[in-house]
Chain A
C-alpha cells in the first residue's frame, strides 16, 4: 500500500538557518506529492506540490523536488523565519484513489529569534 515517512521531530532552528525536512514515500506508479503546513490553531494549508518526477514545487521560499529514483520529496528553505514555526506534513495521492491523501506523521518546526 501507499505510505509516507517523515523525519522525526521536533526540529528547532535559529532564525536564518537552513531547513531540511526529509520525506520518503512508498507507492506504485506515479503519485502526486504534497507538502502541507499547519500553523498553531489552524487547519492544514497546501504549501507546495509536484505531480511528476523531477518537478520542483516552490512557495514562500520553500521548495521540494520529486525524486523518483530515491522516492523522496524533501522540503528545504534557505533561511527560516520565526513565522515559519508550524507543523509540516508530507503527503501523496494516487489518481486511482481520487484525491485521497496519505499523510506522513508531521514534523514540528520551531524557529527561535
Chain B
C-alpha cells in the first residue's frame, strides 16, 4: 500500500486566500484524523471521522476551518480566509478500528 497520501506537500499563499488540503487514507481504514503541528502549540487534533462521518470537531480553531470526507478514500481540510497564524504543518492520519494510526507526510502551509 502507498500509505496515507497528502497533497500538496507545500503550499504558500497570501492572507485572505482559500486553501484546500487533501488526504487519501489507506484503503480499508475507517478512521481519518486531521492534525496541525506548530512549534508553539505542538501537535493538535483538529477533527476526526469514522466511516466518513465527523465524530469530533472540537479542535477546529474557528469557523474559517472546515473539513469534509465525501467518501472513504478522500478528505479535504479547507481554510477560508487564511491568516498568517494558520501557518503550520498539517497532517492527515488513518487507522482501522482501534489499531494504530498511520500518518501522511504532511502539508507545510505558509500564509504570508
A98 with B98: CB separation less than 8 A: yes
Known: A89-B43, A106-B42. A99 touches B103 (CB 8 A): no
Q: How many A-B residue pairs have CB under 8 A?
A: 52
B106 with A43: CB separation less than 8 A: yes
Question: CA A49 – CA B98 in complex, angstroms?
Answer: 13
B106 with A99: CB separation less than 8 A: no
- B interface: dominant SS: strand
A99 with B95: CB separation less than 8 A: yes
B43 with A99: CB separation less than 8 A: no
Give the residue name and chain of the B residue nearest to A103 (CB). B43
- A interface: dominant SS: strand
Considering residues B97, B100, B103, which has the most beta carbons from chain A within 10 angstroms of its beta carbon?
B100
- Contact partner, A44, options B95, B96, B98, B103, Cβ 8 Å: B103
State how many residues of chain A have any CB contact under 8 Å with chain B. Answer: 19
Question: CA A101 – CA B71 in complex, angstroms?
Answer: 23
B69-112 interface mask toward A, CB cutoff 8 Å, 1 = contact, 0 = none?
00000000000000000000001010111111111111000000
Question: CA A103 – CA B103 in complex, angstroms?
Answer: 14
Shortest beta-carbon distance from A109 to chain B in Å: 16
User: Is A95 located at the chain interface by the 8 A CB criterion?
Assistant: yes
User: Is A52 located at the chain interface by the 8 A CB criterion?
Assistant: no
- B residues near A32, Cβ cutoff 8 Å: 98
- B residues near A103, Cβ cutoff 8 Å: 42-43
- Contact partner, A49, options B43, B96, B100, B104, Cβ 8 Å: B100
Which chain B residues in 42-66 approach chain A with CB under 8 Å? 42-43, 45, 48, 50, 55-56
- B residues near A105, Cβ cutoff 8 Å: 42
